[in-house]
């Protein structure tokens, strides 16, 4: 964000900004109301068309952008005392990049959904929820203040709940949706407290006001700034699935596969990264918080990667890889490599969406089977899915020239400058990533088919509505990395140069933080060579194990040895959470219900009701309809009042 923020120069620009989130919202309304009545073709047109239109408008704004940030004030939203919060949008380099990511990848996932969900009875409702998800995410990235970001933040939380539990007749899916909702509320509390503290400290929640004032501070690690950044990061930990609030994300795959792709690649999990980058001046002023973020990110990356080594559910492997890659992004944020983190957000969106949609194509062909031990030899039956999945696997493994290589190499080089130990653990994570991803690829597409005869006869390539998005994402996963070529190849890092103004306030606040010594070319070559060599060794190890030796992971019934069992069961983290948090809370809730609500509150509330009923039941006998009786009662009442008045005197 630049230090000067200008209003939008004309009304058409304001209209375009408004249309970007509004169109998906209109799609949500129409498809939501017409779920049962509109034909599927029209629902598809509305669902996909609205997001495509938002993407095209975003593209127009991107190419029309002249480098100067501007705000679009629509109306006064909240105006209480000293608090004034306008409903306004901010267009700058960061929001433009996020707009293209959300609407571009979101549109491809919408197209894929038209084929994947074509037989679902709630087809229109699904598209309505997808549109609402896109709308919420766009509100999050377009808002010009923390309150609007929080509204979008809560919106994506609600949509993830609705979509993860979309097939709500299945109890485990409902439980996964509730788990995502509750864990995110923990993070949201931290985020909300952070916003309150921002307002108390700066007297405003608008980015422009807050960042302008923060840039005048200069002194680092002030307690109030450290507290604000830590509270905001608690929110990011929940939304972007970092230790210890990560357990909801692997379970989020309970929803339809396009939902997994949307959550894991283009929307929800990127919100935490976006929030930290948007607040970069506050974090630059709190290097203590940054170090904490780097440690959490690295621990998450390593921890999740080890779990990915032993999973046999095709979507679970991808889910843990997402958690691990998000850890990479936070590691980069922790070493102040803001643009490198954003670079990895973009490339990860391409190849992770590709991998999830590819997994959906495999599941579609396998009649719902998700266990890779029951697959094998699918590359001949699903050639397009195989080739595109291979590209995605090469990209996430960091093999040049695919997109993941450039972003991961840049990220690790920044970490190398900060700490050699952190870099070594990052490299270890890279090795594990390449191994478990090629383990997944080899067990799924190589060897002989291990499924049932019924599944064998059902094997077929997915329709064009599903394979076309795979091809688009495969192209992006191949060429996407060229937006950030390393300095040894080119001095023109397109993405870094474009995003540079976003760090304007940070540079003004702490200039010394950006005076790092840059790596010489020889060191860069060495780091790249090591990174690629590590990935290649991992791939060879996976090939020998699962192709040459034809190893197939053992069935749970056969039993597994200690360490493998520990990793396969995800270190029993869910069981530990259940034991120390969920069950005590359930016991407390049950106790409060039985002894407080049933034994104390209910009797009091019901007692008032019973007294009222009894009084009414007895008083009704006074309503006889005889006028003489009423006059008699009135005379007696007047006499009693007079007597009472006399006694009181």
Residues 301-360: tens digit of each pLDDT: 999 999 999 999 999 999 999 999 999 999 999 999 999 999 999 999 999 999 999 999
Positive or negative, the CA dihedral 189, 194, 196, 197 is positive
d(C-alpha 570, C-alpha 116), whole Å: 30
Please check whether residue 560 is in contact with residue 459, taking contact to mean a CB–CB distance below 8 angstroms. Answer: no
**Mean residue pLDDT across the chain:** 92
Asked whether 48 and 111 are in contact (CB, 8 A), the reply is yes
Tell me how far apart the alpha carbons of residues 630 and 230 are, in angstroms, rounded to a whole number.
73
377 and 301 share one domain: yes
Q: Is the peptide bond before 396 cis (omega within 30 degrees of 0)?
A: no
- Judged against a pLDDT cut of 60, whether residue 6 lies above it is answered with no
What is the average per-residue pLDDT within 424-441?
Answer: 97
Q: Which residue has the tokens 């009693």?
A: 640
Cα distance between residue 295 and residue 237, in whole Å? 13
Dihedral Cα 435, 440, 441, 444, nearest 10 deg: 150
CA–CA dist 649, 635 (Å, integer): 21
pTM for the model: 0.90
Which of 4-18, 287-301, 452-466 has the weakest average pLDDT?
4-18
Show the DSSP H helices in 491-601 as ranges.
494-499, 504-509, 521-543, 562-568, 573-577, 583-591
What is the percentage of the chain residues whose pLDDT exceeds 90? Answer: 73
Q: Do 178 and 252 share a domain, yes or no?
A: yes
Does 266 lie in the same domain as 221?
Answer: yes
Residue 616 and residue 502 in one domain: no
Q: What is the DSSP letter of 117?
A: T
Q: Please list the residues that pair with 389 across neighbouring strands.
A: none
Higher confidence at residue 554 or residue 315? 315
Given pLDDT bands bounded at 50, 70 and 90, which one contains residue 638? confident
- Dump pLDDT digits (tens) for 154-194: 999 999 999 999 998 888 889 999 999 999 999 999 999 99
Tell me the two tokens of residue 616: 């009414």
82 assigned to some structural domain: yes
Residues 545 and 606 in one domain: no
Q: Which residue in the block uniquely carries the two structure tokens 């870099």? A: 423
Is 98 domain-assigned?
A: yes
Residues 537 and 614 in one domain: no
Same domain? 467 vs 610 = no
Query: If we measure between CA atoms, which residue out of 443, 424, 426, 429 comes closest to residue 305?
Result: 429
User: Is residue 562 in some structural domain?
Assistant: no
- HSE (side-chain half, CA atoms, 13 Å) at 211: 26
What is the per-residue pLDDT across 208-260, written as a single tens digit (0 to 9) for each?
Answer: 999 999 999 989 999 999 999 999 999 999 999 999 999 999 988 888 999 98
Looking at the structure, tell me whether residues 485 and 632 fall in a common domain. Answer: no
Q: Per-residue pLDDT averaged across 372-386, rounded? A: 94
Rg (CA), the chain: 29
Q: What is the chain's length?
A: 649
pLDDT per position as a tens digit, 86-109? 899 999 999 999 999 999 999 999
Tens-digit pLDDT profile for residues 22-66? 999 999 999 999 988 999 999 999 999 999 999 999 999 999 998
pLDDT of residue 10: 66
β-partners of residue 352 are none
Same domain as 348, residue 199: yes
| DSSP H or E stretch at residue 257 | helix 257-261
CB atoms within 10 A of CB 459: 18
pLDDT of residue 426: 96
Taking residues 574-597, report their average pLDDT.
90
Asked if 320 and 442 sit in the same domain, the reply is: yes
Q: What is the pLDDT of residues 508-548, one digit of tens each?
A: 999 988 886 678 889 999 999 999 999 999 999 999 999 99
For 142, 242, 264, 291, 396, the CA distances from 102, given in Å and listed in that order, are: 11, 21, 12, 29, 20
Does any domain span residue 52?
yes
Q: Does 214 map to a domain? A: yes
Contact (Cβ atoms closer than 8 angstroms) between residue 293 and residue 333? yes
Q: Is the pLDDT of residue 406 over 90?
A: yes
Tell me what pLDDT residue 100 has.
Answer: 97
Provide the residue range defining the domain that includes 103.
6-510+517-553
Q: What pLDDT is attached to residue 558?
A: 67
* Alpha-carbon distances, residue 432 vs 218, 231, 391, 435 (angstroms): 41, 32, 18, 5
DSSP codes of every residue in 35-58? TTTS-HHHHHHHHHHHHHHHHHHH
Number of domains in the chain: 2
Query: Is the same domain home to 388 and 525?
Result: yes
| Sequence-distant (≥ 6) Cβ neighbours of residue 78 within 8 angstroms | 84, 85, 147
Structure tokens at 376: 């094998």
CB atoms within 10 A of CB 158: 15
560 domain residue, yes or no: no
What are the C-alpha distances in Å from 134 to residues 247, 351, 445? 23, 19, 33
- Residue at 564 is within a domain: no
Cβ proximity of 97 and 499 under 8 Å: yes
What span, in angstroms and rounded, lies between the C-alpha atoms of 281 and 211?
A: 7
Q: Is residue 569 part of a domain?
A: no
What single string gives the DSSP state of each residue in 479-503? HGGGGG--TTT-S--HHHHHHGGGG
Residues 499 and 632 in one domain: no
């Amino acid at each position: 964000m630049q230090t000067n923020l200008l209003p939008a120069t004309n009304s058409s620009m304001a209209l375009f900004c408004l249309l970007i989130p509004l169109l998906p919202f209109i799609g949500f309304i129409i498809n939501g109301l017409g779920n049962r009545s509109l034909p599927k073709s029209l629902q598809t047109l509305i669902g996909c068309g609205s997001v495509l239109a938002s993407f095209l408008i975003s593209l127009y704004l991107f190419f029309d952008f002249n480098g100067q940030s501007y705000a679009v004030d629509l109306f006064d939203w909240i105006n209480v005392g000293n608090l004034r919060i306008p409903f306004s949008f901010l267009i700058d380099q960061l929001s433009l990049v996020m707009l293209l990511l959300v609407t571009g990848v979101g549109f491809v996932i919408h197209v894929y959904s038209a084929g994947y969900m074509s037989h679902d009875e709630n087809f229109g409702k699904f598209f309505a929820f997808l549109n609402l998800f896109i709308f919420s995410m766009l509100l999050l990235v377009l808002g010009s203040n923390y309150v609007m970001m929080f509204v979008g933040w809560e919106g994506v939380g609600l949509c993830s709940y609705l979509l993860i539990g979309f097939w709500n007749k299945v109890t485990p899916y409902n439980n996964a949706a509730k788990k995502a909702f509750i864990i995110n509320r923990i993070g949201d509390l931290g985020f909300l407290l952070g916003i309150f503290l921002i307002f108390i400290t700066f007297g405003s929640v608008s980015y422009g006001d807050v960042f302008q004032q923060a840039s005048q501070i200069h002194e680092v690690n002030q307690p109030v700034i450290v507290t604000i950044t830590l509270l905001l990061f608690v929110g990011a930990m929940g939304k972007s699935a970092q230790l210890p609030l990560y357990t909801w994300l692997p379970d989020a795959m309970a929803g339809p596969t396009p939902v997994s792709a949307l959550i894991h690649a283009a929307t929800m999990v990127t919100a935490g990264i976006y929030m930290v980058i948007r607040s970069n001046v506050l974090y630059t002023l709190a290097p203590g918080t940054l170090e904490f973020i780097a440690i959490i990110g690295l621990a998450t990356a390593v921890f999740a990667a080890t779990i990915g080594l032993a999973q046999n559910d095709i979507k679970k492997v991808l889910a843990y890889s997402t958690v691990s890659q998000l850890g990479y992004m936070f590691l980069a944020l922790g070493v102040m490599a803001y643009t490198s983190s954003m670079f990895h957000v973009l490339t990860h969106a391409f190849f992770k969406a590709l991998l999830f949609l590819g997994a959906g194509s495999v599941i579609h062909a396998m009649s719902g089977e998700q266990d890779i031990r029951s697959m094998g030899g699918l590359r001949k039956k699903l050639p397009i899915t195989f080739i595109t999945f291979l590209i995605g696997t090469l990209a996430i493994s960091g093999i040049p020239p695919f997109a993941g290589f450039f972003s991961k190499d840049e990220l690790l080089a920044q970490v190398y400058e900060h700490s050699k130990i952190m870099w070594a653990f990052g490299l270890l994570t890279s090795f594990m990533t390449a191994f478990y991803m090629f383990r997944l690829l080899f067990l799924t597409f190589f060897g002989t088919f291990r499924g049932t005869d019924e599944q064998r006869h059902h094997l077929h390539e997915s329709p064009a509505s599903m394979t076309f998005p795979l091809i688009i994402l495969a192209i992006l996963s191949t060429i996407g990395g060229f937006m950030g070529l390393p300095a040894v190849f080119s001095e023109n890092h397109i993405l870094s140069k474009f995003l540079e103004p976003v760090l304007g306030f940070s540079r003004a606040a702490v200039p010394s933080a950006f005076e790092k010594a840059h790596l010489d070319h020889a060191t860069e070559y060495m780091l790249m060579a090591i990174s690629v060599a590590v990935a290649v060794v991992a791939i060879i190890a996976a090939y020998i194990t699962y192709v040459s030796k034809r190893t197939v992971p053992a069935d749970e019934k056969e039993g597994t040895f200690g360490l493998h069992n520990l990793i396969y069961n995800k270190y029993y983290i869910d069981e530990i959470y259940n034991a120390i948090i969920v069950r005590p809370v359930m016991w407390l809730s049950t106790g409060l219900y039985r002894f407080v609500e049933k034994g104390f509150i209910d009797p009091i509330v019901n007692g008032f009701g019973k007294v009222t009923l009894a009084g009414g039941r007895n008083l009704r006998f006074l309503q006889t309809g005889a006028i003489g009786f009423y006059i008699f009662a009135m005379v007696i009442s007047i006499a009693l009042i007079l007597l009472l008045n006399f006694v009181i005197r």
